[in-house]
Structures are given as structure tokens and as C-alpha cells.
Amino acid sequence: MASRADNIASNLSLANFSKATELKNRIWFTVGALIVFRFLSFVPLPGVNPLILQQLYKQTQGGILDLFNTFSGGSLERMSLIALGVMPYITASIVVQLAASLHPALGALKKEGESGRKKLNQYTRYGAVLLTAVQGWFVASGLEAYGASSGLQAVVNPGVMFRVGAVVSLIGGTMFLLWLGEQITSRGIGNGTSLIIMAGIVAQMPTFVANLFEGGRTGSIGGGTIVGLLALLVLMILMICFMERATRRLLIQYPKRASQKGMMQADRSHLPLKLNTAGVIPPIFASSLLLLPLTITQFAGNSVSPDTAVGSFVISLNQYLAHGKPVYMLLYAAGIIFFSFFYTAVVFNPEETAENLKRNGGFIPGIRPGKNTATYLDYVLTRITVIGAIYLTVVCVVPEWVIAQTGMRLFFAGGTSLLIVVNVTVDTITQIQSHLLAHQYGDLIKKAKLKGRLR
């Protein structure tokens, strides 16, 4: 049976892909859904002047709006119906995860299985609606305030009706994206929300490539610099692929049990601990916290005179927190390391894992079950989290340093975007391989049934 499985896994080729009709339909459905997402990113909010809005975005580049704009595929720059993207849902899901780890009632829901998971998902959707409404109201108010202070009328008819219409439109756009992501997950190839975020990031790729080769043509970027940037991109992709798949496998031993042949046999399994348990959450949290004051000072700087004490403070803060500056990169690295340990402690509970192992009769060889096992798991997890935090820091800080040296926006929005694109791509390939493997096993079962009938 093992040799048959090995042969099936080795035969996952394009020839087998051409026979997998269901997989092809799923891929075409996913592509169609992503095309709909891209079309929606060009549908503007009612009552907004897109030309004035483009000038507004250019004056506020570099803040948290730049990060959200990249994740939404440029929708925020054009202030489309899906300008906020799925970021409110991502934020709400993180808050619910944190609350489930800290609040006993939500923690009990998390342990109820499928029914508890559905309730937590429902709470996450409610939180996404609330966050979208709050963010939408501030976005609409910010557009009106900016037009009043600088003389640029981004809103055609400012007022309460515009704000209400903008909030309703943004809620509808975000909820539609969530529904679209769920459809991709169920009827497509999975990871619907992640694929939507990746599609928004990849949509910026043609602009990056065009700017790169245009700089080489005009002479503003040397040929050696272009080759170095491409080589660095390939090396970082390889490192991300290696580190994201790296795990520390702990041997779990179970008591001897009687087998079907009457022999006593001990079961063994492994507890995999990912090197990067926190995923892409630490860079997102760290960059959001750093870019938030920068965005506020950029908006405030338009209405504050540079000759005043407040204006001088705003200018100094913008200079220190600019991309590539030593203070920014130092705070960015410290934030990534802190959130790597913090989020890992939230998503993985050594005491709960040790209790589950003890309840099922499992133990780590050489470690007593219970408290000693929890201490050992915490010790191992802390050591590998140190490596994971260093890896995340290198991936995210190196692009910032390259941006400062070359003056160009590398990797679309830095290491965070590269992490998301590579992780989602690897997961999507894994999903496709799983569908192909299921198709191969299905054909094998059909052939076995057919031979049985012929006999």
C-alpha cells in the first residue's frame, strides 16, 4: 500500500492534471472570482472626485495608507467600493483569537468543536462590520476635512449623506469580498481570503517591473543594481520557502497496545512545532504601529505651520520615522521580535498541549507527563521562536534598507508582502497537489471496484 501511494505521488504531472476535470473547474472558478475582485477595485465610491483623490494619496504616501493600499490592490488609492479590502476582517479575526485565549467564555467556545468555531466566525463577521463602519466613517470624514483645509475638493457634495453613503458602500464592498473569499474556499482551490490579499499585492507587480526596467533604460538605475535586486529577490524567496516549511518534530510515545495479531506494539507519532508559529502577524502589527503616527502627522502637517513648535515636532517625527532611517528600522525590528513571541504565546498553549497528551496517554521520552512536559514544550518553543523572529526581522528589514539605498519601492511593499505572496503560493500549490492526489486515489478505487465486478 505504501508503494502504491509513493507511485501515485510521483505521477502528479501535467498529464494527470489534464484528466482532473473537477480541479480544472475549481481553478477556473478561482480565476473568475479574482477577476471580479480586480474589476471592483476600479469602481469608485459615489460622490468622490478621483482626480483630486489621486493628488491626496500622493501627498500621504509612506504611511499606513500605503500598506492598506497595497493589500487592497490599489483600491484605497482610487477609493473604490472595496477600498478597505479584507483588512477589517483580518483585524477582527486577530482580536477574536486574542480574546478567545484570554476570555474564559470565548475559550470554552473554541473547545466546542465545529459549533464553537461557527460562533466565533460569526463574532468575527460582526466585528468586521463594526470595524468597517468605523473606518469608513473616518475615511469619509478625512476626505471632507482634507478638502476643506487644502482647497482640494475631493468630495463633490460633502455632508452627512455622503458619509452615510460611503459607510454603507464600504461595508457592502468588504462583506462582498468576504463572501467571495468563502466561495473561493468552498468552490475554488481554498484559502479564499489569502488569495484575495495576494491578488491585490501581485497586482502591483507590473508597476514594479516597469519602473525597474524603465530606470535601467534611462540610466537612473545601473545594470548591476537591477541584477543585484533580482538576485536578492530570488534568495529571499528561497529563504522564505525553506524557513516557512521548517519544523521541530518532537517524538511522542504512546503505551503499548495489543495489535490484531495479538502482539504488544507501541505507537509513535510526532508533534510538529513550526519555526515561525506567528506567521505574518508580527510584521503587520509592527508596521501598522509605526506607520500610524506617521500617517497622523502627515495629515496634521497640512494644517500646521512649520514655524511653530508643533510644526517643528511633526517635521522631526516624520524624518525619524521615514522608511530606511535607523530609528525606523530599529523600532521595526524590535516590534517584529516582540510580536513574534507575543502572538506565539497566544496561539500555542504548552499547558493545554501537555494536558491533552497526558489525557491520551502520550508522553515525550525522557520527560515526565504533566507540568514537566509543559515546561519542556515552552523551552523548545522559546528557542525556535528566537530563530523565527530573527528570520522575520531579516526578511522585513533588508527590503527597507534596500529602499533607503536605491530610492525605489522594492517587493511592492516590503518583506511583509513578499511573505504573504510566497506563503499563499506554497499553500495553493499544496492544495492543488492534494486535489490531484485525491483524483488519483479516486481512479484507483474505481479500477479496483471494476476488477472486483469482473471477477
Going from N- to C-terminal start, the domains of the chain cover 20-204, 223-411
Domain 223-411 fold is Preprotein translocase SecY subunit (1.10.3370)
Distance CA 235, CA 393 (A): 15
148-162 pLDDT, tens per residue? 555 667 777 888 888
Supply the mean pLDDT for the chain: 77
CATH architecture of 20-204: Orthogonal Bundle (1.10)
12-45 pLDDT, tens per residue? 455 566 677 788 888 899 999 999 998 888 888 8
Any alpha helices (H) in 302-370, and if so which ranges?
A: 309-320, 326-347, 350-359
Q: Write the DSSP string, 233-284.
A: HHHHHHHHHHHHH-EEEEEEEEEEEE-TTS-EEEEEEEEEEETTTTTTHHHH
Helix axes 371-406, 223-245, angle to 10 degrees: 170
Domain 20-204 identical in fold to domain 223-411: yes
46-100 pLDDT, tens per residue? 888 777 777 766 665 555 566 666 666 667 777 788 888 888 888 888 888 878 8
Mean pLDDT of the 437-449 span: 64
Amino acid at the residue 242 = F
Higher pLDDT, 113 or 429: 429
Strands 264-274 and 247-258: antiparallel
